[in-house]
């Protein structure tokens, strides 16, 4: 199947619509004008015949017939109007005849009308230029019929030189208007098609560059068409998002390679020392092995979390439980961890809030937030976990007085693989996925998560669930 560009398709569509509209308009207009003009000519012809009949009746005298002046006037009238005029008495005797001078013009008039009709777009179908006709009218005088008036003519007598000129001018006007409108329409269709197709071609090129791996490509389109402008914005946003994700992936790969290399290098060095007999096997040596293997195990778990995050969705296993008691239990499991750093964790919980949601998701959310807080607390730091409810929301807050998050990092902390410069400097082994997973779990359960933080003052994470999850 042959494919054509959008610009050509739009131009062709505009052109077909334009030509079709012009043809339909021309045919309808010509037929309408032709019918009205035919009616006008017939009315004019009848008026002319009636005037001639009245002149004959006024000129006739019962005793003397027609005077010589009247006869000359009738002959002139017949020749001027290309008519044959004959008057008979009641006995059928001819008392006047305009002669056959009109008949001598027959061939000339038929030739003229043949040319006139062929030049017409629709023709005057109600007028037959080659047929000879006669009309008979009563000759009335003093309220009595004294004879018969016969008026003969060819169909061509309907057409005067002025009517033929009008028809020709009308046809020329149609033809000139057709071509002028066609040219104008072509110009407009070309401009419109270019205004639509040109920016779309540029956007397509940008998308093609992105497909080829150039995520730095952008579509610098300025258009007064709302849909095109929104499409360009969406393509640019997609390119920027993909570029950021790619940079974060590369950053994670580099970090993971470095962090995996460190325990492997340590293990390799220690094993070589044992093989060469430099070291003797001891509990302390095996303890080092265990710690390095534990680090590798954590890195494997991080990779498993990445795989989970790439899945299409999160399966929920909802149940009814006491949210207040569950949060207290989670906090209790973290108290020994915080005590090792001489840090304090406290709670402020509204009692007996019953909810219907995924309990395992809740545990993982709080585990990620509390682990994150523990990693960035200074000695003697404090963490406070709060649970309270408002008219239409349940709110969980995790507040710490740790090192805080810089303003430039704050918009990106929920992006997958993102790690701030501070977190990279610390030996936390973080992957930049904890907060991303937390956000996904919160939203899967119908909630929203927000963060407020200042460097050197601390951070507050707020999770807001709709009251509808309450049992």
What are 290-314's pLDDT values in tens digits?
888 887 887 777 667 666 655 545 6
pLDDT at position 327: 93
Contact criterion met (CB below 8 Å) for 282 and 288: no
Q: Is the pLDDT of residue 431 over 60?
A: no
| Confidence check: pLDDT of 456 > 60 | yes
pLDDT surpasses 80 at 119? no
Residue 427 has pLDDT above 60, yes or no: no
Using a 10 angstrom Cβ sphere, with 0-12 exposed, 13-18 middle and 19 or more buried, the burial of residue 42 is middle
Domain containing residue 454: 318-469
Residue 416 pLDDT level (bands cut at 50, 70, 90): low
pLDDT of residue 222: 77
For residues 393 and 157, which has the higher predicted lDDT (pLDDT)? 393
Q: Which domain-ending residue is among 182, 211, 243?
A: 182
Domain-located, residue 65: yes
Instruction: Specify the pLDDT at position 420.
Output: 63
Is residue 199 domain-resident? no
Out of 280, 310, 340, pick the residue that ends a domain. Answer: 310
CB 361 within 8 A of CB 444: yes
Statement to judge: residues 157 and 261 lie in one domain: no
Of the two residues 384 and 435, the one the predictor is more confident about is 384
Looking at residue 307, its pLDDT comes to 62
Highest mean pLDDT range out of 29-33, 48-52, 261-265? 48-52
Determine the average pLDDT of the residues in 232-260.
Answer: 78
The two three-digit tokens of residue 204, written as one number: 């397509």
Residue 105: inside a domain:
yes
Q: Do residues 334 and 252 both lie within one domain?
A: no
- Out of 265, 289, 310, a domain closes at 310
| pLDDT in the model for residue 2 | 59
User: Which three-class secondary structure state does DSSP give residue 452?
Assistant: strand
Distance in angstroms (rounded) separating the CA atoms of residues 330 and 364? 10
In a shared domain, residues 109 and 255: no
Q: Worst-scoring range by mean pLDDT, 51-60, 185-194, 335-344, 368-377? A: 185-194
Residue with more model confidence, 459 or 117 = 459
Residue with the bigger pLDDT between 194 and 86: it is 86
Instruction: Indicate if 407 and 291 belong to the same structural domain.
Output: no
Q: What is the pLDDT of residue 160?
A: 60
| Per-residue pLDDT band at 63 (split at 50, 70, 90) | confident
**3-state percent breakdown (helix, strand, coil) of the chain, nearest 5:** 60, 15, 25
In a domain, 219, yes or no: no
**368/414 Cα distance (integer angstroms):** 12
Domain at 266, CATH number: 1.10.287.130
- Look at residue 394 in the predicted model and tell me its pLDDT: 93
Which residues does 315 contact at the CB level (< 8 Å), separation at least 6? none
Same domain, 379 and 425: yes
Count the Cβ atoms, other than its own, within 10 Å of residue 14. 17
Nearest to 466, CA basis, from 357, 363, 380:
357
195: its two tokens: 């205004």
Predicted model pTM: 0.45
Statement to judge: residues 300 and 351 lie in one domain: no
Q: Within this chain, do residues 306 and 358 fall inside the same structural domain, yes or no? A: no
208-242 pLDDT, tens per residue? 888 888 888 888 877 777 888 888 888 888 888 88
Which tokens is 10 given?
A: 């739009």
Residues 401 and 451 in one domain: yes
Tokens 């009245």 sit on residue: 54
Mean pLDDT value across residues 100-115: 48
Q: What is the mean pLDDT of residues 365-385?
A: 89
* Percent residues over pLDDT 70 in the chain: 81
Please tell me the distance from the alpha carbon of residue 207 to that of residue 239, in angstroms, as a whole number: 8
* Mean pLDDT for all residues in the chain: 79
pLDDT of amino acid 318: 87
Q: In the structure encoding, which two tokens stand for residue 226, read together? A: 């709302």
Q: Report yes or no on 215 lying in a domain.
A: no
What does the block give as tokens for 50? 């009636």
Residue 206 backbone phi and psi in degrees, to 5: -60, -45
> pLDDT digit string (tens) for 148-176?
989 887 765 555 666 667 777 877 887 88
Per-residue pLDDT, averaged over 397-423, amounts to 78
Angle, CA 49 vertex, CA 93 and CA 84 arms, to 5°: 50
Same domain, 292 and 340: no
Q: Is the residue at 201 inside a domain? A: no
Q: At 132, is the secondary structure helix, strand, or coil?
A: strand
Instruction: Name which residue leads in pLDDT, 340 or 63.
Output: 340
User: Bigger pLDDT: 33 or 117?
Assistant: 33
| Residue range 68-103, pLDDT digits in tens | 888 888 888 888 877 888 888 888 888 888 876 555
| Residues 281 and 335 occupy one common structural domain | no
Do residues 328 and 348 touch, judged by C-beta distance below 8 A?
no
345 domain residue, yes or no: yes
Say how far apart CA 370 and CA 69 lie, in whole Å: 129
The answer to whether residues 389 and 356 belong to one domain is yes
Distance, first Cα to last Cα, the chain: 60
* 344 pLDDT higher than 80: yes
> What is the per-residue pLDDT for 425?
46
Helices and strands (H and E) in the chain: how many: 11, 11
Helix (H) or strand (E) holding 200: helix 161-211
193 burial (CB, 10 Å; 0-12 / 13-18 / 19+) is buried
In sequence order, which residues have a C-beta less than 8 Å from that of residue 277 and are 6 or more positions away?
none
Cβ-proximal residues to 344 (8 Å cutoff; 6+ apart), any chain = 338, 380, 381, 382, 383
Report CA-CA distances (Å) from 441 to 290, 316, 325, 379. Answer: 32, 9, 20, 30
Task: Give the mean pLDDT of 337-361.
Answer: 90
Please give the tally of structural domains in the chain: 3
Radius of gyration from C-alpha coordinates of the chain:
51
404 is written with which tokens? 């805080």
Range of weakest confidence among 28-37, 345-354, 361-370, 425-434 = 425-434
Residues 127, 245 within the same domain: no
Is residue 467 scored above 90 in pLDDT?
A: no
- CATH number of the domain enclosing 464: 3.30.565.10
Q: Half-sphere exposure (CA, 13 Å, Cβ side) for 109?
A: 24
Report which of residues 421 and 212 the model is more confident about: 212
CATH number at residue 166: 3.30.450
Residue 197 counted as domain residue: no
Largest alpha-carbon pair distance within the chain?
Answer: 165
> Structure tokens of 224?
């007064």
């Amino acid at each position: 199947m042959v494919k054509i560009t959008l610009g050509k398709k739009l131009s062709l569509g505009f052109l077909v619509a334009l030509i079709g509209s012009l043809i339909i308009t021309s045919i309808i207009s010509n037929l309408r004008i032709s019918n009205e003009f035919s009616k006008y000519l017939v009315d004019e012809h009848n008026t002319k015949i009636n005037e001639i009949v009245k002149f004959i009746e006024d000129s006739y005298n019962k005793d003397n017939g027609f005077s010589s002046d009247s006869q000359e006037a009738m002959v002139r009238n017949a020749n001027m109007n290309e008519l044959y005029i004959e008057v008979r008495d009641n006995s059928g005797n001819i008392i006047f005849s305009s002669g056959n001078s009109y008949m001598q013009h027959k061939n000339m008039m038929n030739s003229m009308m043949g040319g006139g009709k062929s030049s017409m777009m629709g023709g005057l179908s109600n007028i037959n230029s080659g047929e000879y006709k006669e009309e008979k009218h009563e000759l009335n005088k003093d309220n009595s019929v004294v004879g018969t008036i016969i008026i003969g003519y060819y169909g061509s007598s309907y057409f005067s030189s002025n009517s033929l000129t009008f028809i020709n001018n009308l046809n020329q006007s149609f033809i000139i208007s057709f071509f002028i409108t066609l040219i104008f329409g072509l110009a407009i269709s070309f401009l419109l098609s270019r205004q639509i197709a040109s920016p779309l071609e540029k956007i397509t090129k940008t998308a093609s560059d992105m497909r080829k791996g150039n995520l730095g490509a952008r579509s610098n389109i300025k258009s007064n068409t709302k849909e095109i402008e929104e499409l360009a914005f969406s393509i640019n946003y997609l390119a920027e998002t993909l570029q950021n994700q790619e940079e974060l992936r590369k950053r994670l790969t580099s970090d993971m390679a470095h962090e995996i290399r460190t325990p492997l290098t340590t293990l390799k060095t220690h094993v070589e020392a044992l093989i060469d007999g430099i070291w003797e096997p001891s509990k302390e040596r095996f303890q080092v092995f265990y710690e390095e293997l534990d680090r590798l195990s954590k890195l494997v778990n991080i990779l498993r979390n990445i795989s989970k995050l790439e899945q299409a969705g999160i399966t929920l296993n909802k149940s009814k439980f006491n949210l207040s008691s569950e949060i207290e239990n989670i906090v209790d499991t973290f108290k020994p961890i915080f005590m090792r750093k001489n840090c304090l964790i406290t709670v402020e919980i509204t009692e007996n809030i019953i909810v219907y949601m995924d309990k395992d998701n809740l545990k993982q959310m709080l585990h990620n937030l509390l682990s994150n807080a523990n990693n960035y607390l200074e000695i003697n730091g404090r963490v406070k976990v709060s649970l309270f409810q408002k008219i239409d929301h349940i709110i969980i807050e995790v507040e710490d007085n740790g090192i805080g998050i810089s303003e430039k990092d704050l918009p990106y902390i929920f992006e997958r693989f993102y790690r701030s410069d501070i977190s990279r400097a610390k030996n936390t082994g973080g992957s930049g996925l904890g907060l991303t997973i937390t956000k996904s779990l919160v939203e899967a359960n119908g909630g929203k998560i927000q963060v407020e933080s200042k460097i050197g003052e601390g951070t507050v994470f707020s999770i807001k669930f709709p009251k509808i999850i309450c049992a």
